[in-house]
């Protein structure tokens, strides 16, 4: 009687143990599935984020234009970028303003690097050379000769050594230009020049 009860107890315990093992195995399998699903769901946005981060947004700040001279048939090419910072001059030119850096290739005038502001007086005359400080990334500031335009505009100057400037600019991400401004010292304008495209500037014919 007792041995029969013991046998029954053992059989019952064995059955319960096997059932428990089976339940644990099912739970572990379910847990693995949940982990795999969670990993898959977290990887999707990560992949999307990586793709978004991998997008090359450099160069979108550049504006490329071309205009044809109806008389000569020649084409003038421009590549323009605005400063990322603004400067506030004293009265009567008060108010935040950007500067613009233009690259120009003209069949009549050749290659030019043009710096301009919206308001104010750049101290650079067409008949007398001046100088501006230019810094490429974290390099040393370099003094570039410059000239004012023939129309005597006080908001524009032409930076000399086009090829040297362009070669240095292509290797840089940030260009800082510091001109002398009447009664406003030597403000620094920063330009994001990353992603400049020579092909977009002047497409190969």
CA atoms within 13 A on the CB side of 111: 9
Around 56, how many Cα atoms within 13 Å sit in the side-chain half-sphere? 4
pTM for the whole structure: 0.71
Phi, psi angles (nearest 5°) of residue 131: -145, 155
Q: What is the pLDDT of residues 19-73, one digit of tens each?
A: 555 655 565 566 565 555 544 433 444 444 444 444 567 799 999 999 998 888 8
CA dihedral sign, ordered 106, 108, 114, 116: negative
CA separation for the pair 125, 109 (Å, rounded): 18
DSSP secondary structure code for residue 119 in this structure: S
């Amino acid at each position: 009687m007792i041995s029969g009860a013991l046998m029954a107890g053992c059989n019952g315990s064995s059955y319960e143990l096997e059932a428990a093992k089976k339940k644990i195995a099912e739970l572990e399998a379910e847990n693995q599935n949940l982990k795999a699903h969670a990993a898959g769901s977290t990887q999707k946005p990560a992949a999307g984020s990586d793709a978004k981060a991998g997008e090359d947004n450099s160069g979108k700040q550049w504006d490329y234009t071309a205009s044809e001279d109806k008389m000569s048939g020649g084409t003038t090419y421009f590549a323009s970028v605005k400063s990322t910072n603004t400067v506030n001059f004293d009265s009567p030119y008060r108010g935040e303003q950007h500067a613009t850096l233009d690259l120009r290739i003209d069949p009549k005038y050749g290659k030019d690097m043009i710096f301009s502001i919206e308001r104010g007086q750049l101290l650079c005359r067409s008949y007398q050379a001046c100088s501006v400080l230019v810094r490429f990334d974290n390099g040393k500031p370099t003094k570039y000769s410059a000239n004012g335009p023939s129309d005597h505009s006080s908001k524009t100057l032409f930076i000399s050594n086009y090829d040297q400037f362009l070669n240095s600019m292509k290797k840089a991400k940030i260009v800082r230009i510091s001109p002398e401004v009447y009664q406003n010292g030597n403000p620094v304008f920063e330009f994001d020049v990353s992603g400049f495209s020579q092909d977009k500037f002047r497409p190969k014919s």
